[in-house]
């Protein structure tokens, strides 16, 4: 699904969706996650990945 179509279905801007997609977001609202999962007909675990932060 094109990014602009998903953004329209979810109700967020292309820029914000791109930030989520690239992993640059600091967080995601549950209602946004819910809307994405509904649009893609998936579960949160299908699109989220836990990546441990590197210690310096």
Is 55 a domain residue?
no
Are 6 and 17 in contact by the 8 Å Cβ rule? The answer is: yes
Is 9 a domain residue?
yes
What crossing angle do the helices spanning 14-22 and 3-10 adopt, rounded to 10°? 110
pLDDT at 50: 85
3-class DSSP state of 35: helix
Q: How far apart are CA 50 and CA 10, in angstroms?
A: 23
CATH code of 32's domain: 1.10.260.40
For 6-52, write each residue's pLDDT tens digit.
999 999 999 999 999 998 999 999 999 999 999 999 999 999 888 88
Domain that holds residue 39: 3-47
Question: In the chain, how many domains are there?
Answer: 1
Is 53 a domain residue?
no
């Amino acid at each position: 699904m094109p990014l602009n179509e998903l953004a329209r279905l979810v109700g967020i801007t292309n820029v914000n969706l791109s930030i989520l997609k690239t992993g640059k977001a600091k967080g995601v609202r549950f209602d946004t996650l819910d809307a994405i999962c509904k649009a893609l007909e998936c579960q949160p675990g299908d699109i989220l990945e836990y990546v441990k932060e590197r210690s310096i």
